Amino acid sequence: MEEIKNEMNEMIPEKKKGNSNVALWIGCCLSLICSLVLMCVVFCDGNEEKEDVKAVAKSSKQNKSLTNGGLKIAYIDTDSVLAKYDMAKDMEESLKAYQQKVESDFAAKQKKFEADYADYLKNGANLTLTQQKDKEKELQRRGNELQQLQPQLMAQLQERQINDNKKLLDAVYAFIKDYNKKHQNFDVIFAKSYISSPVLYIDEGMDITEEIIKGLNEEYKEYKKED
């Protein structure tokens, strides 16, 4: 590589000394080429700028509602809705009552089984062998049923809670949709929650929570009257 560089270095001065007209001609050609390249660059940049302007214009047209302030946005604090919506309160109380009943029924069956088992241990010797065998089978069956009953009751409780939540959400969503259609016609309504919310900040002037809670409770009050 060094030898090639040296050879080229040796050739360049010889050409300069040998033919200055050629060097001048080459310089003119290079100047012309640079001018052409510059024109191409300017022309291409002009086209790209035009395309960018068209793209921006198109984007501005698509987001016209945003740039012109036509997009109407509101938000609802879902934590407040759950805390103040009468239907949510009633469902929570009903679920607690159901859970207490389930736990009470299970505890009563378990207590009865334990009492019968203790009685058999105490007085089983007074029974005949056939009676003892039958009693043991009965106690074993009841013990197995209790072991299977507990997870079944837990599953029923979870299913009840899921159904209640779905019913509650359906009622809230349906009301918001109807409310928005009749009154405000917002383009977007966000759900704001302290624990999990995609909204980090939003102007409090966009808060319609109290209006929604008031309307939900009025609707629920009328619904309970019909029952």
On the question of pLDDT at 222 being above 50, the answer is: yes
Q: Do 20 and 104 have their domain in common?
A: no
The model's confidence at residue 20, banded by pLDDT at 50, 70 and 90, is: very low
183 vs 59, higher pLDDT: 183
213 phi, psi to nearest 5 deg: -60, -45
On the question of pLDDT at 36 being above 70, the answer is: no
| Domain count along the chain | 2
Q: Would you state the pLDDT for residue 124?
A: 92
The model's confidence at residue 126, banded by pLDDT at 50, 70 and 90, is: very high
Mean of pLDDT values over 130-158 = 94
Reduced 3-state DSSP string for the chain: CHHHHHHHHHHHHHHHHHCHHHHHHHHHHHHHHHHHHHHHHHHHHHHHHHHHHHHHHHHHHHCHHHHCCCCCEEEEEHHHHHHHCHHHHHHHHHHHHHHHHHHHHHHHHHHHHHHHHHHHHHHHHHCCHHHHHHHHHHHHHHHHHHHHHHHHHHHHHHHHHHHHHHHHHHHHHHHHHHHHHHHHCCCEEEEECCCCCCCCCCCHHHECHHHHHHHHHHHHHHHHHHC
Q: Do 185 and 157 have their domain in common?
A: yes
On the question of pLDDT at 97 being above 90, the answer is: yes
Q: Provide the domain limits for residue 217.
A: 73-226
Q: Which two tokens stand for residue 80?
A: 């407040």
Mean of pLDDT values over 129-148 = 94
CA distance 169 to 212: 13
Q: Do 22 and 119 have their domain in common?
A: no
Mean of pLDDT values over 148-172 = 94
Q: Do 195 and 111 have their domain in common?
A: yes
Q: Would you state the pLDDT for residue 69?
A: 62
- State percent of the chain over pLDDT 70: 69
The model's confidence at residue 201, banded by pLDDT at 50, 70 and 90, is: confident
Q: Do 81 and 56 have their domain in common?
A: no
Q: Do 136 and 213 have their domain in common?
A: yes
Average pLDDT, whole number, for the chain?
77
Q: Do 81 and 104 have their domain in common?
A: yes
Q: Do 42 and 77 have their domain in common?
A: no
46 vs 41, higher pLDDT: 46
Q: Do 196 and 111 have their domain in common?
A: yes
Query: How confident is the model over 56-92, as pLDDT tens digits?
Result: 444 433 433 343 467 889 999 999 999 999 999 999 9
Boundary (domain end) residue, out of 67, 84, 111 = 67
Q: Would you state the pLDDT for residue 8?
A: 36
198 phi, psi to nearest 5 deg: -75, -10
Q: Would you state the pLDDT for residue 147?
A: 93
Boundary (domain end) residue, out of 24, 41, 67 = 67
Q: Which two tokens stand for residue 88?
A: 């949510």
Boundary (domain end) residue, out of 52, 67, 82 = 67
- State percent of the chain over pLDDT 90: 55
Q: Do 32 and 137 have their domain in common?
A: no
